[in-house]
Structure 1
Amino acid sequence: MKTIYKYTFLLGLMLFFFGCQEEDILDKSPLTEISETDVWSDPGLVEAFVNARYNQVGHGWTESWQSSVVDETYLTWSRGCEPYTQGYVNPSDLGRMNGGWWGWDNRSWATVWGNIANCNLFFERIDEVEFADETYKDRLVGEVTFIRALMYFDLVARWGGMPLITKSYTLNDREEYLSVARDSYKDNVDFIVSECDKAADLLPASYDGSDKGRATSVAALALKSRMLLYAASPLMNKSGVNPLVGYSAPDADRWKNAADAAKACIDAALDNGYALYQKYDDVKENYTQLFLDGGNSEVLFDREGGLSADGDNLTGLDQTNGPNGYGLWGGNTPISEFVDDFEMADGTKFDWDNPVHKANPYANRDARLYATVLADGDPWRERNVQTYLIANAAGDITGGGKDTKYGQDSWNTSKSSYNVRKYMDETYVPNSWNFTNPKNWIWFRLGEQYLNYAEALYNQGLEDEARTALNVIRARAKMPDVTATGDDLWDAIVNERRVELCFEEHRYYDVRRWLIAEDVLNRNATGVEIVLHPNGTKTYEPGVLVEQRLFNAPAMYWMPIPKWEIDKNANLEQNPGY
């Protein structure tokens, strides 16, 4: 795989046709390991080329999680998050949403375009290869079709309409590829949907053995579902939208298209052996293992773990995100604005003004909270989490638990008194980096599809059907059925996505496409102060400032096109507000 990657990196002379400076195009390693003729005459080498495309599919476990630029978490070191949390993202500083931070790629503009370029090369050369089995060839074509569509989605979700480029470039085409213009948002959506349909027709519904983890027809339907859901949303589907970032006129039928796509994905998944993960009766254990049990029944497509061609390894999150008292780095830490949105076990809202709730804020909550967040007193590894401070009889703070600034590695202390539990492996040995047991980043899972379906149904006025879809997810969590109507039902759908899909890179897009970002992302990030008193009781005070936050509307509803790209190509029109 390493050899093949060197080859593909060279072949993609247009790899950075939007992402590199001019001199970078010529700064490539010499081709020594394998020839171009060899690759496009050997089906085995072609499959290795396709495998390299999977290795350039990004993931969400960078040092700076996407959750830390929205109202889910705060990164203790805050690298690359400030342009979003402080409201100063601009074409010259795109922060953690584009580019490397301490070795992590964050699915940068250049990397995603590079993968698209190599996909285009595949399509231009694949017919030169003689395959003994045409079904095998069709499968590879389907896989690359899906990957290219996913790469385009990854760009469109962040930046809006992209240039739709389906050919590869060489140095002789420099003038052409440095003069391309952006296509409309509509054209991008139509292209992605069409590619998903093509991929679904070519791909099997599932795989066994070593092929597990490849793109499937169900994965293609899942991508189509998400794309159409986004496209139907108010940010894009209203009057007066710039055609680069939305439609020229609203159309209620877009919600029907989204609902139909989600239903098609759900049906195909269930018909082919996929199912919501329900291996354990205990909700906390079940929700925990959903993200640790690789390739389980709920996963529709994931980025396989292990060392990839671009140098990423999906192993570091245990070291970088656990509480400091365990010898871990306390990185992306949940904030109260997120934790407080987990309901009580009876389906009512948690409320700090309720004296019963305030006296014991982590009791009798939605059990998914206990699988998502480590709060003070939670059992984890060899002891209970200790984020409490210690007061003397006079009320003065004299110390604190092992997971506070009074414990080891105080510079890694969570400012909110919370740490991440979701994705974390309790068997991880600190400072081992767990290279032998990497995790898989889930891009699409069946649970999301039910929530996509509920949202699309609600926006067609089909409230009964929306509640049914919503309650499938709540039933798995052993939460009471939602019976609400109207605005209250919508609030329930929004909150269910918030807790069920947290840290999975949905919230960034959800609050924007719903046009609520300027409301929820202008709130400061806060935590809670927990104090242990001499009599053994604890008190809890919310509202501890973690970070002042600012969302600049309307510009920040989209990312700016990088300045260095517009400097090279004036035809790349900048997004509104920048």
Structure 2
Amino acid sequence: MNLTKKYILLLLVLSLAGTACKKDFLDKKPLTEISADVFWKDQNLAKAYVNTIYSQIGQGFTESWMSSVVDETYLTWSRGCEPITQAYITPSNLGRMNGAWYGNDYRNWGTIWANIKNCNVFFENVDKTTFTDASLKNRLLGEVTFIRALEYFDLVSRWGGMPVITKSFNLDNVDEASKMVRNTYKENVDFIVAECDKAAALLPVSYSGQDIGRATKIAALALKSRMLLYAASPLMNKSGVDPLVGYATPDAARWQKAADAAKAVIDQATANGYSLYNKYSDVKANYTQLFLDKNNSEIIFDRQNFGSMHYLDQSNGPNGYGEWGGNTPIQEFVDDFEMADGTKFDWNNPAEKKAPFANRDARLYATVLSDGDPWKGRAVEDHFNEVNEGGKVVLRGGKDTKDGPSSWNTSKTGYNVRKFLNEAYVVDSWTFTGASAQNWIWFRLAEFYLNYAEAEYNLGNEGEAKLALNKIRQRAQMPLATESGTALWDKIAHERRIELAFEEHRYFDTRRWMIAATVLNRPATGIVITKKLDGTTEYLAHTGTSATLVEDRKFKEANYWLPIPQSEIERNAALKQNPGY
């Protein structure tokens, strides 16, 4: 989806003219009036405008991942995570959840609303465009309908009900905009679902050439599935919920809508060439490449990189390799990877404690870099060595500990991320060819088997739930689930935690399942590994001491939703604040 220089220049002129000061706007005929008349007549420029809307879609590859505000990772330098992890978030301080620090994720309140306005501007002007092919107009309408729905979902999933705005605002109607009230959660869900249906009817199932990466019919159905799954969940679907953040009355039938929507994604996707990525027989290699092999069969929609760089690899690799040790897995997350035989890992099992990284679910080795793992030509050194100096035993850290280079970039957990990273990345290569170029995946097929499993379980259809769940476990070469009752639910929830790790699902799963008050209200810990003089290796975890404590985390009931930014409340007093703030 490349823009020509001519289109970029014209869009820049429109943008600059649109942000001119009020005095200039009133003193002379604005450039936007002249340019817009020409601009919207040209179907190529209309298409270029849609491309700019794509470029504003949010992504997760910033310095502070969303995984670092839940029980997946810890960010070495915080970067706005602490207000969330330590529960002092306020309307005036939303931390990284209102846009990640250092690296634009296009996810803050203002950026999302700006792109919603961009979408509304398109809808208001597209009928002025002369299209030589009517199908192109319909497709662009479908694409922008999907993007606006996605932007709304990004708001609603974090803040609850939003004002449903389907027109742009300018100097002529700014007073109206300042009095907008929040629609209910139900009205937002209904709007997003209807928009997804509308988009699905207008969009093709796939693209080729330079159009790969645009929204498809399957992407619209995927967004609908995720929205309906969230809407059916306990947080929103229980008695006594404020209508701004849930339904006035619970209804178990919402699970049927979620099941039907997930099944529609699976059926449409598999009928049109999508499939679970299974290119390599080795699970570690397969799970690794799933996130590096662009436009593969599993990806339903991703935020394309548009040729611009980000520093995913530089900011997250181990410090001993010249990287920055950013988002680092915590012990509670690593512990949850099963043994290869499907049993739970147990620190109280002497054999497992002696070799905690052996014989685990192979996805662990593609998700987390642990001590001894091969990486860029050597083994990771997250351990300390006992050294006998003059009859006194002292400790010397390995290359990837605080005793290695850039001690300030050392993982405090004893682990580094492996998922998403490209081992071929050249450290400090601040050029396009050497910089990270991974796309951020919004939707992939595996999620919808898990969505379907969850919805069917909640409908009491355990057989269907197990069939869907086992599609994912079979690909991971893990024993198939045979459990029933709450044990089956534990397996479904576990599989989402492992398969979808770091993909921004855990933040919402812990909230919509209402388990955040338990799993996010406990310390985040790490591991200390010591290679002793007698040739043994000691692994210390969950000691209850400062040796393994990484962060003392907290969670409050109000934190199930984010507070509306104080600046927005001051701008528009009609915006009601969320409960607890």
The alignment's TM-score, normalised by the length of structure 2, stands at: 0.94
* 8 Å contact from structure 2 (residues 56, 106) kept in 1: no
Partner of residue 504, structure 2: 505
Matches within 5 A, 1:545-564: 545-553=549-557, 555-564=558-567
Partner of residue 419, structure 2: 422
1:398 Cα deviation (Å)?
2.2
SS in 2 for 1:172: coil
Deviations 1:297-318 (A, max 9, x none): 00000000145xxxxx453110
Partner Cα distance (1:7, 1:38) in 2: 13
Partner of residue 17, structure 1: none
Q: Structure 1 residues 95 and 4 mapped into 2: Cα distance closer, same or farther (>3 Å)?
A: farther
* 8 Å contact from structure 1 (residues 70, 85) kept in 2: yes
Q: Which amino acid aligns with 2:425?
A: Y
Could you say what the CA RMSD is over the residues aligned between the two structures, in angstroms? 2.0
Partner of residue 212, structure 1: 212
Matches within 5 A, 1:363-402: 363-392=358-387, 396-402=393-399
1:390 Cα deviation (Å)?
1.2
Deviations 1:273-320 (A, max 9, x none): 00000000000000000000011000000000145xxxxx45311000
Q: Structure 1 residues 530 and 110 mapped into 2: Cα distance closer, same or farther (>3 Å)?
A: same
Partner of residue 545, structure 2: none
Partner Cα distance (2:578, 2:528) in 1: 41
SS in 1 for 2:119: helix
Q: Structure 1 residues 192 and 202 mapped into 2: Cα distance closer, same or farther (>3 Å)?
A: same
Partner Cα distance (2:405, 2:126) in 1: 56
Partner of residue 475, structure 1: 474
Deviations 1:380-410 (A, max 9, x none): 1110000001123688442111000111111
Partner Cα distance (2:538, 2:309) in 1: 38
1:5 Cα deviation (Å)?
4.3
* 8 Å contact from structure 1 (residues 60, 106) kept in 2: no
**One of 403, 410, 417 as aligned partner of 1:406:** 403
1:100 Cα deviation (Å)?
5.2
SS in 2 for 1:162: coil
Partner Cα distance (1:351, 1:84) in 2: 29
Q: Structure 1 residues 564 and 428 mapped into 2: Cα distance closer, same or farther (>3 Å)?
A: same
* 8 Å contact from structure 2 (residues 62, 105) kept in 1: yes
Deviations 1:425-445 (A, max 9, x none): 011110014523611100000
* 8 Å contact from structure 2 (residues 59, 105) kept in 1: no
**One of 324, 335, 341 as aligned partner of 1:346:** 341
1:212 Cα deviation (Å)?
0.3
Question: What is the total number of aligned residue pairs between the two structures?
Answer: 562
Deviations 1:478-525 (A, max 9, x none): 000011111111111111000000000000000000000000001111
Moved over 2 A (4+): 1-14, 30-34, 102-106, 392-398, 433-437
* 8 Å contact from structure 1 (residues 7, 33) kept in 2: no
Matches within 5 A, 1:198-277: 198-277=198-277
Q: Structure 1 residues 137 and 77 mapped into 2: Cα distance closer, same or farther (>3 Å)?
A: same
Deviations 1:524-548 (A, max 9, x none): 1100100011233211000210111
Q: Structure 1 residues 178 and 33 mapped into 2: Cα distance closer, same or farther (>3 Å)?
A: closer
Partner Cα distance (1:60, 1:22) in 2: 36
Q: Which amino acid aligns with 2:157?
A: A
1:12 Cα deviation (Å)?
6.5
Partner Cα distance (2:513, 2:109) in 1: 25
* 8 Å contact from structure 1 (residues 7, 34) kept in 2: no
Matches within 5 A, 1:275-354: 275-307=275-307, 313-354=308-349
Deviations 1:3-57 (A, max 9, x none): 254245457769xxxxxx999x99xxx9599811121110000000000000000
SS in 1 for 2:172: helix
Q: Structure 1 residues 270 and 101 mapped into 2: Cα distance closer, same or farther (>3 Å)?
A: same
Deviations 1:438-493 (A, max 9, x none): 11100000000000000000000111110110000000000000111111111111
Partner Cα distance (1:512, 1:219) in 2: 24
Partner Cα distance (2:456, 2:59) in 1: 29
Q: Which amino acid aligns with 1:489?
A: L
Q: Which amino acid aligns with 2:490?
A: D
1:146 corresponds to 2:146: yes
* 8 Å contact from structure 2 (residues 59, 440) kept in 1: yes
Partner Cα distance (1:455, 1:200) in 2: 24
Deviations 1:323-358 (A, max 9, x none): 000000000000001010000000000011111110
* 8 Å contact from structure 1 (residues 68, 75) kept in 2: yes
Unaligned runs of 5+ in 1: 15-20, 308-312
Q: Which amino acid aligns with 1:38?
A: V
Unaligned runs of 5+ in 2: 543-547
* 8 Å contact from structure 1 (residues 305, 440) kept in 2: yes
* 8 Å contact from structure 2 (residues 17, 32) kept in 1: no
Q: Structure 1 residues 221 and 12 mapped into 2: Cα distance closer, same or farther (>3 Å)?
A: farther
The alignment's TM-score, normalised by the length of structure 1, stands at: 0.94
Partner of residue 522, structure 1: 521
* 8 Å contact from structure 2 (residues 14, 35) kept in 1: no
Partner Cα distance (2:17, 2:192) in 1: 25
Q: Structure 1 residues 566 and 284 mapped into 2: Cα distance closer, same or farther (>3 Å)?
A: same
Partner Cα distance (2:14, 2:312) in 1: 29
Partner of residue 536, structure 1: 535
SS in 2 for 1:391: strand
Q: Which amino acid aligns with 1:551?
A: F
Q: Structure 1 residues 352 and 506 mapped into 2: Cα distance closer, same or farther (>3 Å)?
A: same
SS in 2 for 1:472: helix
* 8 Å contact from structure 2 (residues 80, 95) kept in 1: yes
Partner of residue 310, structure 1: none
Deviations 1:138-163 (A, max 9, x none): 00000000000000000000000000
Partner Cα distance (1:367, 1:124) in 2: 51
Q: Structure 1 residues 255 and 432 mapped into 2: Cα distance closer, same or farther (>3 Å)?
A: same
Partner of residue 12, structure 2: 6
1:99 Cα deviation (Å)?
3.1
Q: Which amino acid aligns with 1:320?
A: S
Q: Which amino acid aligns with 1:194?
A: A
* 8 Å contact from structure 1 (residues 316, 434) kept in 2: no
SS in 2 for 1:191: helix
Matches within 5 A, 1:70-89: 70-89=70-89
Matches within 5 A, 1:32-43: 35-43=35-43
